[in-house]
């Protein structure tokens, strides 16, 4: 396909956190590419919501320090940070046992180990930033299929009942993995259910969070409380991720708010004082989904379409961001070298570059859940030893901290710098 016959260079199926961030990164770092985002939800950069209303019930994401650096590179961090609560300390503990480990930002010479941002706020910042770029947006519309062509792809789109086709050099699937598109395109996801659900809510406590994120492992599953709601001062709100079995979830959902606060108190203890309020609860079944081969000629998977992790370790979107930058790096290189962006060699290098980080992060978050989800006595003793050991051994603790901060994989930022600073590709 030559540039006269192709409708657009790249189609991104899905304009959620991953798809929208990819579109922005391309607009900033590979502006030569014409990018079209197809999003099934009726949200668009041309008409973003007027205001950000920090709702008591909105979902939030723990952004690692490495993700802050990526957003800085994309010129979005200043805006995002207006409503991002810093995580200055991480406290990991095991209910009813003595092991605990603590990480402190100052030990790593940083202001924060990470940040907590509302998904709604991130979406709004992304939409506003995209509004000033040449990225085209089709919404509400859904990608329903793809056909390979010589040097490109033909993408089938349903837009308000009408069937359309767009040609492009490459399709990136960022649909979150729930629309069935990746299976339709022949990708084979591997899914391992955890047999648990994540219950999400915002909570208020009588003590201030002091910018501390708590990860607490209990015999019925892990729980995380992330500091939330006040970038400038240590507030009393935290974002809760509580893992529960199916039975237990039904039981908790049937409780009054007072009973939920009491159940939380029993599980979590008193480190944040009394739980005084709980917002609306949302819940998600938990599974580990990975796709071993996330690329084909002309098509690549990113974000949750490529990997969905247990949320308690707060790694999913952070890993996705690093993957997006690895892909952008390869698109930049292809454009510079005049190679088709959908070429399997280009997409294969993205997979190769991201693979080690991907494996390490999946293993980190999965082993946290599996080791700390066990109630068998020998395992419990071993994990106590692990937590204590982590606290005492600077090397082990540093590795844990680097993973939590999103700086544990390969040099994630070198590639982001390169298009701007002109670093040689081989150094990436």
Per-residue x/- track, 192-221, ligand FAD (CB under 6 A) = ------x-x---------------------
> For the chain, first and last CA: distance in Å?
30
Enumerate the β-bridge partners of residue 228.
Answer: 237
Report in angstroms how near the CB of residue 41 gets to ligand FAD at its nearest: 4
Q: Which is nearer to ligand FAD, 52 or 284 (CB)?
A: 284
Per-residue x/- track, 266-295, ligand FAD (CB under 6 A) = ------------------x-----------
Q: How far is residue 244 from each of residues 58, 371, 382, 386, measured CA to CA in Å?
A: 20, 16, 23, 24
Q: With binding defined as CB under 6 A, does residue 18 bind ligand FAD?
A: yes
Enumerate the β-bridge partners of residue 198.
Answer: 243, 284
Report in angstroms how near the CB of residue 347 gets to ligand FAD at its nearest: 17
Report in angstroms how near the CB of residue 39 gets to ligand FAD at its nearest: 5
The number of beta carbons lying within 10 Å of the beta carbon of residue 193 is 10
User: 48, 86, 229, 316: which one contacts ligand FAD (CB under 6 A)?
Assistant: 316
Enumerate the β-bridge partners of residue 85.
Answer: 116
Residues for the chain: how many in total?
428
Enumerate the β-bridge partners of residue 201.
Answer: 240
Q: What is the DSSP string of 246-286?
A: HHHHHHHHTS-HHHHHHHHHHHH-STT--EEEE---EEEEE
Coil, strand, or helix at residue 119? helix
Per-residue x/- track, 293-312, ligand FAD (CB under 6 A) = ----------xxx-----x-
Q: With binding defined as CB under 6 A, does residue 222 bind ligand FAD?
A: no
- 14 and 175 Cβ atoms separated by less than 8 Å: yes
Per-residue x/- track, 58-87, ligand FAD (CB under 6 A) = ---xx-------------------------
Q: Count residues binding ligand FAD (CB under 6 A).
A: 34
User: 15, 152, 373, 419: which one contacts ligand FAD (CB under 6 A)?
Assistant: 15
Q: Segment 150-189, which members bind ligand FAD (CB under 6 A)?
A: 174-176, 179, 181
Q: Segment 125-154, which members bind ligand FAD (CB under 6 A)?
A: 142-143
Closest CA to 227 of 53, 106, 62, 56: 62
Closest CA to 85 of 51, 110, 111, 108: 111
- 325 and 412 Cβ atoms separated by less than 8 Å: yes
Per-residue x/- track, 23-62, ligand FAD (CB under 6 A) = ---------------xxxx-------------------xx
Residues that bind ligand FAD (CB under 6 A): 13-19, 38-41, 61-62, 142-143, 174-176, 179, 181, 198, 200, 241, 284, 303-305, 311, 314-318, 320
């Amino acid at each position: 396909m030559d540039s006269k016959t192709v409708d657009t260079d790249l189609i991104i199926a899905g304009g959620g956190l991953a798809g929208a961030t990819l579109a922005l990164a391309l607009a900033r770092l590979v502006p030569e590419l014409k990018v079209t985002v197809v999003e099934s939800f009726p949200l668009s950069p041309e008409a973003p919501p007027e205001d950000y209303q920090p709702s008591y019930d909105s979902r939030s994401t723990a952004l690692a320090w490495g993700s802050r650096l990526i957003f800085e590179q994309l010129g979005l961090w200043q805006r995002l940070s207006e409503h991002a609560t810093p995580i200055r300390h991480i406290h990991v503990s095991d209910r009813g046992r003595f092991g605990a480990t603590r990480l402190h930002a100052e030990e790593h010479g940083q202001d924060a180990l990470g940040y907590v941002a509302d998904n709604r706020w991130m979406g709004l910042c992304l939409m506003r930033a995209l509004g000033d770029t040449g990225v085209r947006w089709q919404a509400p519309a859904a990608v329903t299929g793809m056909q390979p062509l010589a040097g490109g792809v033909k993408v089938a789109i349903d837009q308000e009942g009408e069937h359309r086709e767009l040609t492009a050099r490459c399709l990136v699937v960022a649909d979150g993995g729930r629309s069935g598109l990746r299976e339709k395109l022949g990708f084979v996801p591997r899914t391992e259910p955890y047999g648990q659900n994540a219950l999400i809510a915002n909570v208020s406590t009588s003590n201030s969070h002091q910018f501390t994120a708590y990860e607490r492992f209990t015999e019925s599953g892990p729980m995380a409380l992330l500091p939330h709601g006040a970038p400038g001062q240590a507030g009393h709100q935290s974002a809760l991720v509580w893992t529960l079995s199916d039975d237990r979830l039904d039981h908790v959902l049937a409780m009054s708010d007072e009973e939920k606060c009491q159940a939380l108190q029993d599980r979590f203890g008193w480190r944040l004082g009394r739980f005084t309020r709980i917002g609306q609860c949302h819940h998600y079944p938990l599974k580990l989904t990975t796709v071993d081969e996330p690329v084909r000629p002309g098509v690549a998977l990113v974000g949750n379409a490529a990997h969905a992790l247990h949320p308690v370790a707060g790694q999913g979107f952070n890993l996705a961001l690093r993957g997006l930058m690895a892909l952008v790096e390869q698109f930049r290189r292809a454009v510079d070298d005049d190679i088709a962006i959908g070429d399997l060699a280009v997409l294969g290098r993205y997979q190769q570059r991201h693979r080690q980080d991907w494996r390490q992060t999946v293993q980190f978050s999965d082993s946290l859940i599996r080791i700390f989800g066990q109630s068998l006595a020998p395992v419990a003793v071993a994990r106590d030893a692990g937590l204590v050991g982590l606290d005492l051994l600077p090397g082990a603790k540093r590795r844990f901290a680097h993973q939590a901060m999103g700086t544990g994989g390969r040099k994630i930022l070198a590639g982001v710098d390169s298009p701007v600073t002109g670093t040689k590709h081989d150094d990436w």
